Every structure is written in structure tokens, then in C-alpha cells.
Amino acid sequence: MDIVIYHNAECGTSRNVLELLRHVGVEPHVVEYLKTPPSRTLVAQLVARMGIGVRDVLREKGTPYGELGLDDLSLSDEALLDAIEAHPILMNRPIVVSPAGVKLCRPSETVLDLLPAEGLQPFTKEDGEVVIDSDGRRVR
């Protein structure tokens, strides 16, 4: 299965998604988007494929969101894409691209929506939360 994850190793959710992908036997293409930011065109395409708005992919915590006035609801998608292009940290993560679709995987177990449900093995996140139980069923 060919999967891409837009990843930030400093983010626990992103680390959990990457580990969960590997746990189910998928070695994704890892794009460390702070080192290799996607183009604004690609960000717009990802947002469109997710069926959400550009504003829905913005991250506030630990970013210049407030300083840039991005809480102004009158800002256009183009202005928001400009901000993401200038400050890639504004793009929330992890975004996972798979043959089954594209998702902003928050919470981390959302990635399971993009994977086959058969043959899942128990999985616990780094904080101790069980995601897949001992019977191979999603807990949430």
C-alpha cells in the first residue's frame, strides 16, 4: 500500500500515526514537511481532497497564528495559503494520503479509516491509550 504522511517528529500525534502505520505493516513515504514544505498548490489539493476548508488545516498551538491575525474570518483561502507557504508550521499534522483517501489524522486513530480493517493487531499509543484491543478491534 502506497501511503504518504506529512509528518513532524516533534508532534506526539504525528509520531503515533507513523508508528500505527508501521505497526500494521505499512512503511509510508515520510515527508518532514517543516524541512520539505509542500507547495501551496499541493496544500490546496490536499485540502480539497480532504473535503475541508483551508482554515480547517490551520494549526494555532505553537505557531504564529495569532501574531499573523489568522483568526480574522474574513481572510480568503488564498491569504491562508500564503500564510502556510510562508510558515509551514501553520499546517496541522499529520496529513496522510492513501489509496482510500486523504485525512488530517487528529486524533491519531483516524488513520485507521484509511487502512484495511482486517488483521489488526493490538496497539497502544505512546501515552498508554489503547487504540486496537487484544481482539484486533478499534477501541474508538
Which positions are annotated as active-site residues?
11
Q: Are strands 95-98 and 101-104 parallel, antiparallel or unpaired?
A: antiparallel
For residue 105, the surrounding DSSP H or E stretch is none
Phi, psi torsion values for 93, nearest 5 degrees: -145, 165
3-state helix, strand, coil in the chain (%, to 5): 35, 15, 50
Identify whether 94 is preceded by a cis peptide bond (ω within 30 of 0): yes
Show Cβ contacts of residue 48 under 8 Å, excluding neighbours closer than 6 positions: none
